[in-house]
Structure 1
Amino acid sequence: MSKIAIIGSGNIGLSLGKGLVKSEQYAAQEIILTRRNLALLQHEARLGFQVGDNNSQAVLASDIVVLAVLPQQLKRVLDEIKGSLNDQQIIVSVVSGVTCEDIRNVIGEEMQVVRAMPNTAIVIGQSMTCIATDLASTEAVSSVVKLFESVGSVVVIQEDLMTSATALCACGIAFFLRAIRAASQGGVEIGFHAHDALKMAVQTAKGAADLLLQTSSHPEHEIDKVTSPKGCTIAGLNEMEHHGFSSAFIKGIKLSAKKAGGLYDE
């Protein structure tokens, strides 16, 4: 079993580490978590994870190195660890807007670099992760696919689509969460207690997603099944569309993609 160093144990880094342990594919002891403020990793240390604030030392002991820092922090971190890396390691970057070439330009052209874009549902094994590379070997990509398949679904895409994947999947989870929140607020306004309305909205959203996943159906096909002539469903849908529901959602995804593409240079 490969040892994994997760450099930058914020939300995504911690979610990945905990998700891998939850999947039972890795033990906590096989995962090193790093963070500048070690006090924030005391709970993880009690769970059995190796924790530290020395990134160079962490990568020395690892087969797979996951870069999970902010784009603005990446150049400093790469300069810090490049002397401790070797060409047998796989470097996995979950950093938005940073290409494989950008990373190799700092750590060495011989390094195997693969990009991955998960979302925070990784902590419960339900991430949608997109994976891409430019020059890494098939074996390296397969190893990264296997890693992330243990914590959700994986799609391998062209690297030039990774910024778009960030918007649709990583940012996208927040968009769907906001839609669920809005549905629950609507439920309160029509008479339900807040906790009941939220439970109903969450399960309805989950059912809609599972319906598409399990039947491979198109959303509009399923919508047609519940929109009868002069009915209440089509009335509600049309009211939302009159106020720009689909357009706002699409514009939000496009703006997030534009923003994600420039984070590394900020």
Structure 2
Amino acid sequence: MVKKISFKQVREDFNDLRAVVHYTRAAHKLGLWASELAVFEKYLPPAPDAPILEAGCGAGRVSMALYESGRRNLTAFDFAEELCAMAQSLFLERETGDAITLFHADARKVATHPQVADQKFAAVLFMFNGLMQIPRRRNRRAAMRSLRALAAPGAPFIFTTHDRDHSPHERKAWWYEAKQWAAGKQDPCLVEYGDRYFEDDLGRTFMHLPDREEILADLKATGWTHTWDAMRREIAKESRAVRDFSDENRFWVAHA
């Protein structure tokens, strides 16, 4: 019997050497995307000491870039132990000192983690579609609620997702996939329509691809107020390196 995709399996995939090397290279060389920079400049609090929480920090790409831009009160966590180790190595190498606090945690339960349980953050980030790599909608909502509990009043929540309606090609592909689900012929390891699980040179990757209405409903259900969203191509023109690293995605901003 085929096993359904699980949180444990996704964590194992991110701890795989291929994934670790891929994300570590990006952390050391890629920095912020032009679109990320534009969104951060508009929505992050301007004070360099404003406390910012990054969920799903991976090997440290975003937190490191924020530090290098002058931020000095960053807290970052990830659920993959090997990626946390790579982030720690990067922060030590670049001598960030106590400007970045790093710890290992599950986003679904992070609000009760002793590292952050008594804190409120001026902004919360979950970049590069990390939220969508949590299997099952109830688990993604649990993560959103947990992060909401750590957000100060009015704090922005900035994250990205794919969007299965963003192009004619995607709409056609998902029309076909819907027929497969209706006939019970979908990949048996998947649990929800919108899920994908595939393997390439970078390892195995789980991703849930929502439509816009799904995310709007999830924000409302978890206590966030939707503020703005746009596809990456509408925000900035990205370098070839960024386009090679990531497909098109949708940026979201909500507020506590």
Which of the five TM-score ranges fits, normalised by the shorter chain? 0.3 to 0.5
More strand by share: 2
Structure of higher CA gyration radius? 1
Q: Normalising by structure 2, what TM-score?
A: 0.40
Structure number with greater CO (CA < 8 Å, separation at least 6) is 2
